[in-house]
A and B are shown apart, each in its own frame.
Chain A
Amino acid sequence: MSAIKSYDHPTNADQFNKDQARTHWHDSSLWFIREKRDRMSKSLPEWETLRTCASQIKAHTVSKLADYLEEFEKNATARGATVHWAKDAEEHNRIVLEILQKHQTKRIVKSKSMLTEECHLNPWLEKHGIEVVDTDLGERIVQLRNEPPSHIVMPAIHLKKEDVSNTFHEHLQTEQGNYDPNYLTESARQHLRQKFCQADAGITGVNFAIAETGGFVVCTNEGNADLGVSLPKVHIACMGIEKLIPKVDHLSIFLRLLARSATGQPITTYSSHFHGPIEGGELHIVLVDNGRSKLMNSDDYRNSLKCIRCGACMNTCPVYRRSGGHSYAATVPGPIGSILNPLRDAKHHKTLPFACTLCGSCSDVCPVKINLHEQLLTLRTEVKNQKQLPISKTLPMQIASFVFQRPKLFAWLGGVGKFFLRTMPRFLIYNAMNPWGRNREMPEAPPESFRKQYAQRVKKKSDK
């Protein structure tokens, strides 16, 4: 996890912004995708209707989640799959390891799954002597670099092609200084092909599981999920319990929204449907809670369970674009990550709800209409209630509140403040204690407040 230096978002973001050229490059790469998403969403007159439908289907599913999970289990089992239940990350990892050990698995291939990242499955399996190869190209790149993904859809979006070339040169012995994306992709393809052929088991994530049929869908642009589970006999699918939808009919709504929101494609290149194991093989589905049912019971945050992990909120977030995914020090970064992580661990992730200007762009871009920025605001109070706000943040607010409850004191202090702002020498105003003034000028203090001018004006009028 070499990229994570600290849990403090401002510190990490400050570091990221030191290289302004790279910051701008990162911002424009993501903005490019956001614009593509805009064009694609505007090409569908029914876009807002789709969002409303998706949001309502998810709300309904979450309200009856236990029933739908049981229905899914029954139907998946009937199709020959084995369904496992994991209450947290540890149990999930243990279940996966047990299955692999039963089959004496030494090598596995894994397609992109944020859930297994969330559970830190890779290091756990590696500790038990199992080689894990991420087969999504972006995932593979960050895996070789021993870094976590910086984005949930484009895990290596923080890297330039030069960075990828250097990484491949080091690990895959590609030509030094050859930055041609076609060459690099082909080299990765050859390398991964070998891994696919050697694997004893394949792990995938799940994008949508359908209660009605007991089947599930995995969306990839590289077809790597299909390859990874077609050759080996064991397929393990790991899914968060919120990935459920009731009916197969609903799928079309979500598939149309997902790819357009994520990358501006009309549909993901491969939407692979799985219904039971391949001939002579085994299919295991691990249903993971890991804090999700807690969210289900909260009026303020229940909505965040609707998330389909499209990543659009990251692409649109002006803070994410200019601070990079690693600055969040979390598996899921950006607006949705800034909700999910502090709810799981407020101590470590206390700065995330504040890594946001509350601009609201995420809420309007979200295909399932999660009120992200409102939840981020509510979450700030939660962080305070959990006693995770430093006194340097709470005391000024207490003082300000005291003053604002006393209009005369406020007016008087305002006058004093303006006087100092006008008369103090520059070095006393612009110093290390004033983060406003590091890059910005302070406003010029006017001679008189509005309330003074207003009083004079009223007096003048009545004198007339």
Chain B
Amino acid sequence: MQRMGLPLGRATDEALLSGLTTGDPEIAVAFVRRFQRIVFGVAIAVVGDPQLAEDIAQQTFERAWRHAQIYDSRRGSVKTWLTTIAHNLAIDAVRARRASPVAPEDLDALLDIVTDTPEQQALADETSARIRSAVAALPREQARALVMAGIYGMTAQQIAEFERIPLGTAKTRIRTATRKLRTTLGTEASRR
């Protein structure tokens, strides 16, 4: 595996994904090594249980391997594709296992993480930095609704019960927050 370490380490994400379909174990190692922190990070953030998160992360790579041929680079990066797979699996697991998708302390902790803006993160990815700033600029109740829906997969009804607010208010918070972030992304796209 060391034989291929450096060259495969420099291969593009798309090339590694396509190479995964050949069944070459060295490519599989390189692919997993590149994305395992991201995939596991999504899984653990949603489910909070390391054992379950590992199982979800493993399933994510298995699914990516099985469906690599339908990946379409025009619809997003390999990273985003994998993240979405992991997220969907994690949400399914949460819905299957827990009546309450999130504990209040977990929500606040995650909200702090996604709105925190350490310099190195801002420098690492401009798009993420802009989204992070946009989330941080939201009224707290809108940001909570957005995180509950977008990350924990909670429906408006669940958010209404969790926050003890009318259903219409929960829907409005999700809608307003999402549209504000869309405006942020749209502004960024128009600048490029």
Interaction A to B = no
- Chain A positions near chain B (C-beta within 8 angstroms): none
Question: Taking beta carbons and an 8 Å cutoff, which residues of B are in contact with A?
Answer: none
